[in-house]
């Protein structure tokens, strides 16, 4: 029905096992056709618009009720990813706990990292793997019962700013080697919500 071709003079790295691109720059952006498909916000893609300065008690973040729902970002296509950068809402001294899962099909999810009682900027790393969907699930907030996320990007550069980077609060999970053939097979086979929860 339709065919589009894009040419770029810039070189890019390709993973030999999956033939997927290993991006060097943030691809979780509106310009790269990423979308927030689950989460509560006044602006659907506030999480991906690159604005990390203009947020307050009412605007500039995406959220979900603790123990109900999540925040999910869909990338334009599968990529090989090994890091994610986050900015947790930090207009006061609250701390959050959360975990991140990734998927290529929204059916099989692989948990890659979990952090407890952290704040502000976060950079998490994990084993390089195929990613199309990124799910962030808040599990605790020291101020109220809502998880608030201002910004997400992947991959995250090594000089990414960080908050209270206590390594004892971060748990990384085993790799996906056993499940990689199935993920590759899934690749080959080829909601916006408008309510808003204020930080209080």
What confidence score (pLDDT) does residue 189 get?
60
Which residues, 6+ apart, have CB-to-CB distance to 3 below 8 Å?
A: none
- Taken as a whole, the chain contains a residue count of 200
The model's pTM: 0.82
Residue 180 confidence (pLDDT): 58
Residue-wise pLDDT for 29-52, tens only, equals: 999 999 999 999 988 889 999 999
The pLDDT value given to residue 181:
56
pLDDT of residue 193: 41
Instruction: Give the number of other Cβ atoms within 10 Å of residue 24's Cβ.
Output: 12
Q: Which residues of the chain have pLDDT under 70?
A: 163-168, 174-200
Cβ neighbours around 46 below 10 Å, total? 20
DSSP assignment of 8-66 equals -SS--EE-TTT--EE-SS---STTTT-EEEE-B-SSTTGGGS---S---SSSS-EEEET
Element (H, E) at 117: strand 110-118
pLDDT at 192: 39
74-110 per-residue burial string, b: 16 or more CB within 10 A, e: under 16: bbeebbbbbbbbbbbbbeeebbbbbbbbbbbbeeeeb
Give me the domains of the chain, ranges plus CATH numbers: 20-180 (2.60.120.260)
Per residue in 59-93, pLDDT (tens digit) is: 999 999 999 999 999 999 999 999 999 999 999 99
What was the pLDDT predicted at 60?
A: 95
> Can you say whether the dihedral through the CA atoms of 179, 29, 35, 125 is positive or negative?
positive
Q: What is the pLDDT of residue 85?
A: 96
């Amino acid at each position: 029905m339709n065919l589009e071709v894009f040419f770029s003079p810039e070189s890019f790295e390709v993973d030999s096992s999956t033939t997927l691109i290993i991006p060097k720059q943030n691809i979780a952006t509106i310009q790269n056709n990423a979308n927030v498909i689950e989460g509560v916000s006044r602006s659907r893609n506030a999480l991906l618009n690159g604005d990390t300065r203009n947020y307050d008690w009412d605007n500039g973040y995406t959220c979900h009720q603790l123990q109900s729902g999540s925040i999910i970002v869909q990338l334009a296509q599968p990529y090989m990813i090994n890091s994610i950068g986050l900015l947790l809402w930090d207009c006061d001294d609250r701390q959050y706990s959360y975990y991140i899962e990734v998927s290529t099909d929204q059916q099989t999810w692989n948990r890659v990292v979990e952090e407890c009682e952290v704040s502000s900027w976060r950079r998490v790393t994990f084993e390089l793997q195929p990613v199309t969907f990124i799910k962030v699930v808040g599990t605790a907030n020291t101020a109220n019962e809502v998880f608030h996320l201002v910004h997400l990007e992947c991959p995250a550069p090594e000089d990414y700013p960080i908050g209270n980077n206590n390594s004892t609060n971060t748990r990384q999970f085993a790799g996906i080697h056993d499940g990689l053939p199935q993920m590759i097979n899934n690749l080959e086979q080829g909601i916006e919500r408008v309510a808003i929860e204020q930080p209080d």
